[in-house]
Structure 1
């Protein structure tokens, strides 16, 4: 059996996509929506989650309204499908205004089932919304670009990040990883993770900003590597941050990545921290500002 091999020029999409980048689409995998519904819904954006909940609520009421409409005589004072629908809404929400009521055995049976369904539905949605509200999210700002410039006379790869919340990230730990596309002798494109060791990868707490430094010496995977080489190889440098939110006392995660076109040689980040009278001022308007030293 012949297998299709990747071209040696094949470049895989970035692992940590930015806004507007192509997303990773999984094909040939089983649909686990119903088996893993809770996690799937929890991962949805708010507008999608509320839209799904609203649509499911509407469809549920339409379903029960159709049953009531088939046996409309079983609902007192109901004259049409609209009455059947709003009777379903009242039943599911256990409102009971008093005008419409079930008067037959079949109608009472459907009301009983819908009431149980309503309890389960609202309990599930309440738990889902509460879990999404209480789930910690990291508000960590990364510079749009990374820079390569001297630090103590040695070239360093530099990234700046900052905590956007007015609290601390306790026990913050950062990792820098080079994701490299490697073509085997058989012609397959593989992804290899290579650690880029940081001068310091841990701080007791992160409140202001933090510049990550990776020394580019003989032991660095970036040594002797040009931006053109990185671009041709499809290299991606990934930075991850893990810490504990001081307010929520829960672990948070943040990540970002840089391609060759997002690295500026000879660049220096503009200083954003200064002491003013009796306080420290952080100017986030200069956070992404880079000064370039000519001739680097």
Structure 2
């Protein structure tokens, strides 16, 4: 059977790629404009491109108004026409220079000098931001919707899947697994505790297809003696961090994921996804990537 992905709580310690935890920062006022570079690097392209376009139009509109101050400073432009001075500003900033309109006063020439300098800065900054956004190393790692707990060599084992969705290889891949849960000390103080979960294999020299990470639940494991109810009561969450070197770009990439208590299925197994094609080539069936079945 195939289980659908459950609804997730509104507040989580760790969230999926591209999202941010819903944490209220009391006593720490935050404005994205205080860290403008980080904002421009992290916002989606659908927001970045319109924002740059609005800034470009606003700067040209400001210079157009400046050209209108004090009379007709642009030759062959209609006196008092905002659109003529606006289009002249666009031509100046982009160094187009059609020649139909040109500055005819000292005031206008100085504005052209200032605008040319502003245009150079704007183009340089937008080019640098765009290159940084394109060049930032990213990973396309697919994680299973669920983790399962099932016997492996007669030992209860926590397992989940990861797969590289790109048609290349990740070198020196490593996985870190951490259990996070609520705890109280004997004095009644509340803590959010982190516990490392040891994997049977935490690194691989070559990650090309899929990887089933396994944590044996032995007496030394932080999960030993836990049940679905106890994990849910402690707001438990399992954090997954995967890092490696992208073979194509030779850059370090990383991916993160997390499983809450409702996403850990006890006494279930994953369906097999590896096989061979008719022409004897290794194949991975992503249609069964999240498919699980109960242990009978």
Query: TM-score, normalised to structure 2's length?
Result: 0.90
1:31 Cα shift? 4.7
Residues 186, 95 of structure 1: alpha-carbon distance in 2 compared, 3 angstrom cutoff: farther
Distance 1:116 1:188, change over 3 A: farther
Structure 1 residue 53, shift from structure 2 partner:
1.0
Q: CA deviation at 1:28?
A: 4.1
2:63 corresponds in structure 1 to 64
Shift of 1:51: 2.0
Match of 1:7 in 2: none
CA deviation after TM superposition for structure 1 residue 54, in Å: 1.2
Distance 1:187 1:291 in 2: 41
For the 8 Å contact 1:72–1:78, the answer to whether it is kept is no
Q: Which residue pairs with 2:175 in the alignment?
A: 174
How far apart, in 2, do the equivalents of 1:232 and 1:137 lie? 35
**Scaled by the length of structure 1, what TM-score is found?**
0.90
Task: State which drifts further: 37-46 or 225-234.
Answer: 37-46
Residues 13-162 of structure 1 mapped to structure 2, 5 A cutoff: 13-18=11-16, 23-26=22-25, 28-29=27-28, 31=30, 33=32, 36-79=35-78, 80-162=81-163
Q: Is the 8 A contact 1:170 1:243 kept in 2?
A: yes
Q: CA deviation at 1:22?
A: 6.7
Bigger mean CA deviation after superposition, 164-173 or 189-198: 189-198
- SS of 1:53's partner is helix
Aligned to 1:290: 292
Which whole-Å deviations, capped at 9, do the CAs of 1:95-129 have from their partners, x for residues lacking one? 11111111001111111001000001001100110
User: How far off is 1:199 after superposition?
Assistant: 0.5
Using a 3 Å threshold, how does the CA distance of structure 1 residues 65 and 265 change in structure 2: closer, same or farther? same
- SS in structure 1 of the partner of residue 72 of structure 2: helix
SS in 1 for 2:61: helix
What secondary structure, in the 3-state scheme, does the structure 2 residue paired with 1:91 have?
A: helix
Choose 213-222 or 47-56, whichever is displaced more: 47-56
The DSSP-based 3-state class of the residue aligned with 1:73 is coil
Quote the offset at 1:12 in angstroms. Answer: 9.6
Matches within 5 A, 1:241-260: 241-260=242-261
Q: Is the 8 A contact 2:14 2:21 kept in 1?
A: no
Alignment correspondent of 1:214: 215
Question: Which residues of structure 1 form unaligned runs of 5+?
Answer: 1-10
Shift of 1:56: 1.1
